[in-house]
Structure 1
Amino acid sequence: MTILITGGAGYIGSHCCVTFLEAGHDVVVVDNLSNSRSESLKRVEAITGQTVKYELADIRDRSALEDIMTRYKCTAVVHFAGLKAVGESVAKPLEYYENNVIGTHSLLSAMETVGVHRLIFSSSATVYGEPQFLPLTESHPTGPVNPYGRTKLMVEEMLRDLAASDPKWRFTILRYFNPVGAHSSGLIGENPLGIPNNLMPFITQVADGRREQLSVFGDDYDTADGTGIRDYIHVVDLVEGHLKAHEALANLTGADNCLTVNLGTGNGYSVLQMVKAFERSSNKSIPYTIAPRREGDVVECYADTSKADEKLSWTAQKDLEAMCHDTWNWVCKNPKGYE
Structure 2
Amino acid sequence: MAILVTGGLGYIGSHTVVELQKSGFEVVIVDDLSNSERFILENIEKVSGTAPVFYPFDLKRRELLSQLLDAHTIEGCINFAAYKAVGESQVIPLDYYENNLVTLINLLQEFKERNISNFIFSSSCTVYGQADHMPIDESAPLKAPESSYGKTKQMGEQILMDFAQAHEKKVSLLRYFNPIGAHPSALLGELPIGIPNNLVPYVTQTAAGIRESLSIFGSDYPTKDGTAVRDYIYVVDLARAHVAALQKLLSETEPTAVDIYNLGTGEGSSVLEIVKTFERANNVSVPYAITGRREGDITIAYADASKAEKELNWKASTPLDQALKTTWAWQQYLESRSANQ
The two structures share one fold, judged by TM-score above 0.5: yes
* Equivalences for residues 224-239 of structure 1 within 5 A: 224-239=224-239
Between 1:142-151 and 1:231-240, the stretch displaced more is 142-151
Aligned partner letter, 1:172: S
- What residue number does 2:317 align with? 317
For 1:48 and 1:334, the matched residues in 2 are separated by 19
Q: Answer yes or no: is the 8 Å Cα contact 1:331–1:337 preserved in 2.
A: no
Alignment deviations for residues 259-302 of structure 1 (CA, whole Å, 9 cap, x no partner): 00001000100000000000001111111112222222111000
* Equivalences for residues 317-336 of structure 1 within 5 A: 317-335=317-335
Q: CA deviation at 1:255?
A: 7.9
Alignment deviations for residues 186-215 of structure 1 (CA, whole Å, 9 cap, x no partner): 111111010000000000001111111101
Between 1:214-223 and 1:274-283, the stretch displaced more is 214-223
- What residue number does 1:64 align with? 64
Please give the secondary structure, in 1, of the residue aligned with 2:65. Answer: helix
- What residue number does 1:77 align with? 77
- What residue number does 2:271 align with? 271
* Equivalences for residues 235-250 of structure 1 within 5 A: 235-250=235-250
Structure 1 residues 284 and 14 mapped into 2: Cα distance closer, same or farther (>3 Å)? same
For 2:110 and 2:167, the matched residues in 1 are separated by 16
Aligned partner letter, 2:18: V
Q: Answer yes or no: is the 8 Å Cα contact 1:66–1:110 preserved in 2.
A: yes
- What residue number does 1:41 align with? 41
Alignment deviations for residues 65-116 of structure 1 (CA, whole Å, 9 cap, x no partner): 1211221211110100001111111222111111111221111112222332
Please give the secondary structure, in 2, of the residue aligned with 1:300. Answer: coil
Aligned partner letter, 1:65: L
For 1:255 and 1:273, the matched residues in 2 are separated by 45
Q: CA deviation at 1:256?
A: 5.7
Q: Answer yes or no: is the 8 Å Cα contact 1:4–1:69 preserved in 2.
A: no
2:24 paired with 1:24? yes
Structure 1 residues 336 and 195 mapped into 2: Cα distance closer, same or farther (>3 Å)? farther
* Equivalences for residues 184-195 of structure 1 within 5 A: 184-195=184-195
For 1:337 and 1:8, the matched residues in 2 are separated by 21
Aligned partner letter, 1:111: F
- What residue number does 2:174 align with? 174
Identity %: 46
Q: CA deviation at 1:146?
A: 1.7
Q: Answer yes or no: is the 8 Å Cα contact 1:173–1:258 preserved in 2.
A: yes
For 2:187 and 2:154, the matched residues in 1 are separated by 33
Q: Answer yes or no: is the 8 Å Cα contact 1:217–1:294 preserved in 2.
A: yes
Please give the secondary structure, in 1, of the residue aligned with 2:51. Answer: coil
* Equivalences for residues 130-145 of structure 1 within 5 A: 130-143=130-143, 144-145=145-146
Structure-1-length-normalised TM-score: 0.97
Q: Answer yes or no: is the 8 Å Cα contact 2:3–2:78 preserved in 1.
A: yes
For 2:265 and 2:43, the matched residues in 1 are separated by 27
Q: Answer yes or no: is the 8 Å Cα contact 1:281–1:321 preserved in 2.
A: yes
Aligned partner letter, 1:321: D
2:251 paired with 1:262? no
- What residue number does 2:197 align with? 197
- What residue number does 2:165 align with? 164
Q: Answer yes or no: is the 8 Å Cα contact 1:57–1:64 preserved in 2.
A: yes
Q: CA deviation at 1:128?
A: 0.3
Q: CA deviation at 1:51?
A: 1.4
Q: CA RMSD in A?
A: 1.4
Aligned partner letter, 1:160: M
Q: Give the aligned length.
A: 338
For 2:64 and 2:113, the matched residues in 1 are separated by 12
Between 1:253-262 and 1:294-303, the stretch displaced more is 253-262
For 1:98 and 1:82, the matched residues in 2 are separated by 10
Q: CA deviation at 1:334?
A: 1.9
Aligned partner letter, 2:46: A
For 1:32 and 1:255, the matched residues in 2 are separated by 32
- What residue number does 2:294 align with? 294
Alignment deviations for residues 128-183 of structure 1 (CA, whole Å, 9 cap, x no partner): 0011111000010001222111110101001111111132x110100000000111
Unaligned runs of 5+ in 2: none
Q: CA deviation at 1:336?
A: 6.5
For 1:267 and 1:114, the matched residues in 2 are separated by 42
For 2:40 and 2:158, the matched residues in 1 are separated by 32
For 1:28 and 1:280, the matched residues in 2 are separated by 40
Q: Answer yes or no: is the 8 Å Cα contact 2:27–2:53 preserved in 1.
A: yes
Aligned partner letter, 2:167: D
- What residue number does 2:55 align with? 55
Unaligned runs of 5+ in 1: none
Q: CA deviation at 1:254?
A: 4.1
